[in-house]
Amino acid sequence: MRITAWALLLLAMLPLPASAAGFAKESLFLSKTPVTEGETVLIHAVVANEGADKFTGSVKFADEGVTIGSVAVTISPGGAAATSISWKPGPGSHPVTAELTDPAGAVVEKESATFKVDAKPKPASSNTRSSAAAVESSQDIQDGIEKYSPAAANAAAPVFNAIDSARSKAADALDSGIEWAKDTTGGKKPGEVLGASTADPSPSGIMGTLWFFLATISLYLFTILRFLVGSAGIFYPLLAILFFFVLWRTYKRFRRPSYAY
């Protein structure tokens, strides 16, 4: 009895064998890099079992202590398994951890890595204009011409490029005109200006009313012209119609019979 008691005490003092399952070296990684705010990625973790027995447990993922989710894992002796979980992070630095736990919930091993997520690019300010980007290119029209006649397309390319450049400059001028018209008419109503003119029939009141209506008409006119100049699908057909009209008028003029007196 005494020998048995000493044997049990000795066994109790011996350390319990640790699980042979664990994470592979530097096995915590993302499905893509870099990552931008709003994107969904996968967090991968590779677990290996170097023991002689099958391992069953789970991998728990967390972002700075906040649980992302967990994945059950079963690994045969000498095998390995790749686990992954979906993640949609916000911008900034994220210390991510993966914990391998046994069926009892005890942590067998822990792996960690820090991932950086870029902030989503901010949209350009509405006050910043880029007429070159807003004016449609004539490239689609040139490609259409090239399908039927490559020689004609090559000859017409410099003309199209020059016209596109002129359209961009015209768009800049029209944008400035639209801004001026908006500033002039902003916050004003025709009735308010006319009422002031009636109470005080001075030249300045009348001129203010005329100036307001001029700016209003200009706003509509500049907006329509800006749309026509910016749209290649409308501008070039109108330009072609105008060109053939001028040719027809010129032809008609030179075709008029001359009368002898």
Q: How far is CA 125 from CA 101, 129, 202, 247, in A?
A: 50, 8, 41, 45
Reading the chain (261 residues) residue by residue, the pLDDT tens digits are 444 334 433 433 434 344 578 888 878 999 998 999 989 999 999 999 988 899 999 999 999 999 999 999 999 998 999 999 999 999 999 999 999 999 998 999 999 999 999 998 876 544 444 444 478 888 888 888 878 887 777 888 888 888 888 888 888 888 888 888 888 776 444 444 444 444 443 335 677 677 778 888 888 888 888 888 888 888 888 888 888 888 888 888 877 665 554
Q: Which two tokens stand for residue 155?
A: 């000859």
Give the pLDDT score at 111: 93
The C-alpha atoms of residue 249 and residue 245 are separated, in whole angstroms, by 6
Nearest Cα to Cα of residue 85 among 114, 35, 45, 58 = 45
Number of neighbouring beta carbons within 10 Å of residue 98: 26
Query: How would DSSP label each residue in 1-18?
Result: -HHHHHHHHHHHHSPPPP
Whether the model pTM is above 0.75: no
Whats the size of the chain, residue-wise? Answer: 261
The C-alpha atoms of residue 211 and residue 228 are separated, in whole angstroms, by 26
Distant-in-sequence, close-in-space partners of 74: CB < 8 Å, separation ≥ 6:
54, 55, 56, 81
| 8 Å CB contact between 45 and 59 | yes
Per-residue pLDDT reduced to its tens digit, 212-250: 788 888 888 888 888 888 888 888 888 888 888 888 888
